[in-house]
Amino acid sequence: MRGLLTLKDLSTDKIKELIQYALKLKKGFRISYPDKKIATLFFENSTRTHYSFQCALMNLGIKVIDFNSSSSSIAKGESLYDTVRTFEALGVDGVVIRHTKEKYYEDLKNIQIPIFNGGDGKADHPTQSLLDLMTIYEEYGHFEGLKCCIVGDISHSRVAHGNIEIMQRLGMEVYISGPEEFNDHCAEWIPLDEACRTMDIIMLLRVQFERHQEKMKISVEEYHKKYGMTYERMKMMKEKAIIMHPAPINRGVEIADEVAECEKSRIYKQMTNGVYVRMAVISDVLDGNL
């Protein structure tokens, strides 16, 4: 299958090359594909990924077809495969897909046009991982030896699962923290205060209430006090350490309002970088390099 489905398919050299390409695009390098059309198919809510992909496509001079799942023939029983096969038959040159189903792309093996994964259930979110890595690289200029703690609703997070695998491959030390009920033991767990004192990167996650089968065991107020990035915890962090979050953010839950845009926060920079990594991925795929 063509496109980008998971970073597990890419070597660390290829990932570093994509980050360098995104940095070049951020510095002003331009490339254009005016004859191409790409459709964005979002079957799950999104602000950043959906519109960041659209900005990336527009910056590359590509025509964007925005699929509206609620007014489509899905209500008449059309499958994901038949929807994507239809876009292929219409002459579209690629599709961006976000879907609630993990590895939805395994149902699309007969599709010949590139598929760009905008997130599959709680499994993976490859362009989010790339933009996180680009932001870390811009900060430190390397990955090896950096210490990152991912904090919060780990078990429901595609960002955590995707990032842990690739960060470890790039030589980073990755830890997790947060409530035991969200600990799926995908990395070593450490207390949050210890993480704040020792990490280079604290990556916060939203509590994904919409994916929970059972009500969270503690209140949001208690969550914020025990596991949130409060002003006091931000002050414990090393001088050059940074705070990241894939967003959407819940101010007052996993992050205090006053910390969300503080000097250490790279949350909005991550969003900006998302446009450039998506441009890099789309361009590389259309050029046949990915």
- What is the arrangement of strands in the sheet containing 147-151, beginning at the earlier edge strand? 188-189, 173-177, 147-151, 201-204, 242-244
Say if CB 149 and CB 203 are below 8 A apart: yes
By CB under 6 A, the count of residues binding ligand CP is: 10
Measure the CA–CA gap between 260 and 243, rounded to whole angstroms.
9
Query: Residue 228 or residue 246: which is nearer to ligand CP going by CB?
Result: 246
Establish if 57 lies at the interface with ligand CP (CB under 6 A): no
72 lines the binding site for ligand CP (CB under 6 A) = no
Q: Output 93 or 124, the one with its CB closest to ligand CP.
A: 124
User: Which CB atom, from 47 or from 73, has the smaller least distance to ligand CP?
Assistant: 47
Q: Of residues 78, 248, 257, 287, which one binds ligand CP by CB under 6 A?
A: 248
In angstroms, the first-to-last Cα distance of the chain is 11
The angle formed by the CA atoms of residues 85, 67 and 28, to the nearest 5 degrees, is 105
CB of 112 to ligand CP, least distance (A): 27
**What are φ and ψ of residue 159, in 5° steps?**
-65, -45
The interface region with ligand CP, picked from 4-12, 60-68, 231-239, 244-252 by CB under 6 A, is 244-252
Q: Which regions of the chain does DSSP assign to beta strands (E)?
A: 3-4, 37-42, 63-67, 94-99, 115-120, 147-151, 173-177, 188-189, 201-204, 242-244
Is 40 a binding residue for ligand CP by CB under 6 A? The answer is no
Are the C-beta atoms of 202 and 178 separated by less than 8 Å?
no
According to the binding rule CB under 6 A, does residue 47 interact with ligand CP? yes
Residue 126 in contact with ligand CP, rule: CB under 6 A: no
Single residue of 39, 48, 205, 273 touching ligand CP by CB under 6 A:
48
Only one of the segments 17-25, 135-143, 221-229, 245-253 lies at the binding site for ligand CP (rule: CB under 6 A); that segment is 245-253
Q: Which part of the chain contacts ligand CP (CB under 6 A), choosing from 3-11, 46-54, 80-88, 185-193?
A: 46-54
Closest CA to 8 of 167, 225, 182: 167
Asked if 274 and 128 touch (Cβ cutoff 8 Å), the reply is yes
The reply to whether 128 sits near ligand CP by the rule CB under 6 A is yes
To which H or E segment does residue 28 belong?
none
**Residue 69 within binding range of ligand CP, rule CB under 6 A:** no
Question: Binding residue for ligand CP (CB under 6 A) from 18, 150, 229, 247?
Answer: 247
Is residue 49 near ligand CP by the rule CB under 6 A?
yes
Regarding 246 and contact with ligand CP (CB under 6 A), the answer is yes
Q: Which residues would be at the binding site for ligand CP (CB under 6 A)?
A: 46-50, 119, 128, 246-248
